[in-house]
Chain A
Amino acid sequence: MTMLHTVNKSPFERRTLDSCLGHALKGSAILLLEDGIYAALEGTVVTDKIKDATREHPIYVLGPDVRARGMSEEQVIEGVSVVGYDGFVDLVAAHDNIQSWL
């Protein structure tokens, strides 16, 4: 089974991202949304963590949440794919199960 994990909290506020990465099997997908998008940006202390993670997981970030917070797609880490809500729906359909890390 391939799981889709979602993380909706900032890595600087909560340990949700770490918990997710600690439990996500290699090959499972991770979607960063809501305040979770901050983990997808270049130039932070977690950037390298995410870059490493992209070697084991397809990682996505929800574009509308990026733009809402005044960030741009250009700031998103290379290797992290930007998707819209339609892409979010496609990810749900494409994976056997979903775990929302709250």
Chain B
Amino acid sequence: MSTPMPSEPWEQQEKAPAVKKFMYVNRRAPYGTIYALESLEVVLIAAAFEQDVSLVFIDDGVYQLKKGQDTGEIGMKNFSPTFRALEGYDVEKLYVEKESLWTRGLTEDDLVVPVQVVAREELREFMDQQEVILSF
């Protein structure tokens, strides 16, 4: 593979860095599997790349945001406080599906962090617009 010629400083200024719409789809409950935790780890690292990031919680993914997780007796690390830290990483678009909450008898008040509760109808339009979709 040939190495591209390094660009001149003025060429670099004209080339805008690519900003893509990244969507992290969270559909699994926490602790039963590692997907919730490792998905969050991607989000934290990805923050440095300054992309247009959204986190979407549907189906059992809404359980990841439940307040009051006490993991002492299962011997696992409680990672839910990390959701509160996301704001500090400029990751602020957290969307929770209304129907997924309702099915599980949860409300916005049960959640550990402020989110935007979105109806499925609106969410599916939003999902369709995303460019890079990461599911775990």
Direct contact, A vs B (beta carbon within 8 Å): yes
- Using a CB–CB cutoff of 8 Å, the interface residues on chain A facing chain B are 1, 3, 15, 19, 22-25, 28, 96-102
A6 to B, closest residue via Cβ: B135
Q: List residues 93-136 of chain B with CB under 8 A from any CB of chain A.
A: 120, 123-125, 127-133, 135-136
B136–A28 touching, CB < 8 Å: no
Of the candidates A19, A22, A25, A100, the one whose C-beta lies within 8 Å of that of B128 is: A25
A-side contacts of B59, CB under 8 Å:
15, 19
Closest CB-CB distance, A97 to chain B, in whole Å?
6
Given contacts A19-B59, A23-B123, contact A99 B129 (CB under 8 A): no
B14-56, CB under 8 A of A: which get 1 and which 0? 0000000000010100000000000000000000000000000
A3–B128 touching, CB < 8 Å: yes
Q: Total number of A-B contacts with CB less than 8 angstroms?
A: 39
A102–B58 touching, CB < 8 Å: no
B-side contacts of A98, CB under 8 Å:
133
Cα distance A28–B124 in the bound complex, in angstroms? 11
Cα distance A97–B22 in the bound complex, in angstroms? 11
A102–B125 touching, CB < 8 Å: no
A102–B128 touching, CB < 8 Å: no
A-side contacts of B132, CB under 8 Å:
97
B21 to A, closest residue via Cβ: A97
Given contacts A22-B120, A24-B124, contact A101 B135 (CB under 8 A): yes
- With most chain A CB atoms within 10 A of its CB, the pick from B58, B124, B129, B136 is B124
Of the candidates B124, B129, B131, B136, the one whose C-beta lies within 8 Å of that of A23 is: B124
B-side contacts of A22, CB under 8 Å:
120, 124
A100–B131 touching, CB < 8 Å: no
Cα distance A25–B127 in the bound complex, in angstroms? 9
B23 to A, closest residue via Cβ: A99
B125–A99 touching, CB < 8 Å: no
A-side contacts of B127, CB under 8 Å:
3, 23, 99
